[in-house]
Structure 1
Amino acid sequence: MLTCSSVIRHFHDPVASITLDETARHRRRMRMVSDRLENGSTIAFLLDLPEARLLRHGDGLVLDDGRIIEVRAKPEALMEVRARDPRHLLTLAWQIGNRHLAAEITEQTIRLRRDHVIRDMLIGLGASVVDIDAPFDPEGGAYGGAHAGHHHDDGHAHSHGHSHD
């Protein structure tokens, strides 16, 4: 089986692409299959990286035969958060970070996975929240670039020292 043990950012002429949501793009070792090529075939390979990492939209997976497969971020059900001004956006980002949520941050918006509890909190803090379907490319974590967010369902059974109210 073909193996990919390196990822590059700048490349030309990929032979195929692979479209993955954010969760499937955070990997170290996994069997993967490219999207269908024009002739209907696919390329199966083993992703075997030295450490877990978030594969970003536009990354190139270098196969051991030298061919490159381009990573594409699959659109996901997200919330796009907007604030009144830059200071308000910082406050909203702090609240989101305090809940350990994976977030994609730009100068004007924050994107998160849809979550009605978090939506209500953000609206209560004065944010504008709109549902979108878009690729999700969250910030890396403070420890080695990986992120370790958790999702908030109607109730989760673990405790980590702060309230989610």
Structure 2
Amino acid sequence: MQHVHSYRPAGEISDPPIDTVTLPHDLRHLRRKLLHLSNGDMVMLDLKEAVLFHDGDRLVLDNGETVEVKAAAEKLFEVRARDTLHLIELAWHLGNRHLPAQIEDDRIVILRDHVIRSMLQGLGATVLDVEEPFQPARGAYHSHSSHDHGHAAHDHAGHDHSGHDHSGHDHAHHKHD
């Protein structure tokens, strides 16, 4: 079985990969895991630190060949707004709930959640069911190689946490007086 100890970001390698591994967004944050490739083979990923992989990133095998990470199609909501300002307002409401979001020029894509759908429709958004790869923004506290979510000078009294899910990631808050 081949092992993976390094990776290259999407676009850095032009040679074709020997295979692919397809994963949804919540399973692309990895450090050590047995991965099942599309051809049925398996490789052992064993990195020094956890990495948030994006579509097109390459896993480098011990023999120098690469495997391409593919973002799996997921059941999502496509959020459309009346205009640019409305889209910014909708993004603010989603960000206030710390929801993973893929933000584009004319839409926001989020995971399906009927409570959030109702909130968005109440705010005047058009919300459509879509199924496509999900590539949420990493955020200001995220890098390609880590998943730190610390908030400096962050006062929780200042914003709403209804519908707020902290599962799946570290969320250290430091209040400075």
CA RMSD of aligned residues (A): 1.9
Partner of 1:94: 92
Partner of 1:164: 162
Task: Please tell me whether residue 29 in structure 1 is matched to residue 62 in structure 2.
Answer: no
1:4-15 matches, within 5 Å, as 4-8=4-8, 9=10, 10-11=12-13, 12-15=15-18
Superposition TM-score, scaled by structure 1 size: 0.83
* Cα shift at 1:58: 0.9
Partner of 2:173: none
Assess if the C-alpha contact under 8 Å between 2:18 and 2:66 holds in 1.
yes
Superposition TM-score, scaled by structure 2 size: 0.78
* Cα shift at 1:13: 1.3
Deviations 1:94-144 (A, max 9, x none): 100000100011111110000000000000001110000000010113223
1:145-156 matches, within 5 Å, as 145=143
Assess if the C-alpha contact under 8 Å between 2:102 and 2:110 holds in 1.
yes
Assess if the C-alpha contact under 8 Å between 1:21 and 1:135 holds in 2.
yes
Assess if the C-alpha contact under 8 Å between 1:3 and 1:45 holds in 2.
yes
* Cα shift at 1:148: 8.0
Where does structure 2 lack aligned partners over 5 or more consecutive residues? 150-155, 164-177
1:51-62 matches, within 5 Å, as 51-62=49-60
Alignment size in residue pairs: 150
With over 3 angstroms needed to count, the CA separation of the structure-2 counterparts of 1:128 and 1:84, relative to structure 1, is same
Deviations 1:5-55 (A, max 9, x none): 22212221110011111111111111112112xxxxx33111122322221
Partner of 2:104: 106
Partner of 1:135: 133
Where does structure 1 lack aligned partners over 5 or more consecutive residues? 37-41, 150-159
Percent identical across equivalent pairs?
45
Partner of 1:79: 77
